[in-house]
Amino acid sequence: NAGVTQTPKFQVLKTGQSMTLQCAQDMNHNSMYWYRQDPGMGLRLIYYSASEGTTDKGEVPNGYNVSRLNKREFSLRLESAAPSQTSVYFCASSEGGTGGYGYTFGSGTRLTVV
Amino acid sequence: AQSVTQLDSQVPVFEEAPVELRCNYSSSVSVYLFWYVQYPNQGLQLLLKYLSGSTLVKGINGFEAEFNKSQTSFHLRKPSVHISDTAEYFCVEGASGGSYIPTFGRGTSLIVHP
């Protein structure tokens, strides 16, 4: 089925380790987003890419980097993981980003940093 | 800046009872409004959206929402809930005015009791 695919689904890291969360969409969407979800905090935007070749910081970018590899793929990298980055991470995409196109979400990556 | 307020963090209700989840938005210009549902351990799925036109919007699973410009509200309703409706519900204002960032409410946890 068409949609947003995130890998891995689960990950446990030790403090200081690095990893990359992968996200790919097959809907030819222009805009892509990375969110983290923590209990009682709703969804908080980490980074977004309005279109291929551009990336911008969101609300909580510290400790993360992103790469818009091509139109389909948008990865999130944790260079040196910290326990505060334990969270559920969601990737989303949108046809236009701005306007009434709506957003399609992946199923999430549950990350635990010990 | 846009803001979306979901007035209830948790709504408990008995099965087959009606329910209303309240949402207020802040934008004074044209708005694009969405309701998303997140079932346990899943990503977010689109329930319904308001772009323009009729103020009563029907979505999936028997949900509907009413756009009220004078009260800047977009409340979600269902006349008779099922146990399977237990989930987190997010009200979202789509990006506008040159921004690519949607605005999420904090979420309302709907808990349906047998």
Q: Residues A64-97: pLDDT tens digits? A: 999 998 999 999 999 999 999 999 999 999 988 6
CA distance A93 to A104: 5
Q: Residue B94 and residue A100: Cβ atoms within 8 Å?
A: yes
Distance from CA of A33 to the nearest CA of B (A): 9
Cβ within 8 Å, pair B90-A98: no
Q: Chain B interface, mutation test: which of A91, A103, A110, most B Cβ atoms within 10 Å?
A: A103
Contacts of B67 in chain A (CB under 8 A): none
Contact in structure between B92 and B35 (CB atoms under 8 Å): yes
Task: Return the pLDDT at B5.
Answer: 95
How would residue A61 be classed by pLDDT, with cut points 50, 70 and 90?
Answer: very high
A94-105 average pLDDT score: 83
> What's phi and psi for B60, nearest 5 deg?
-80, 160
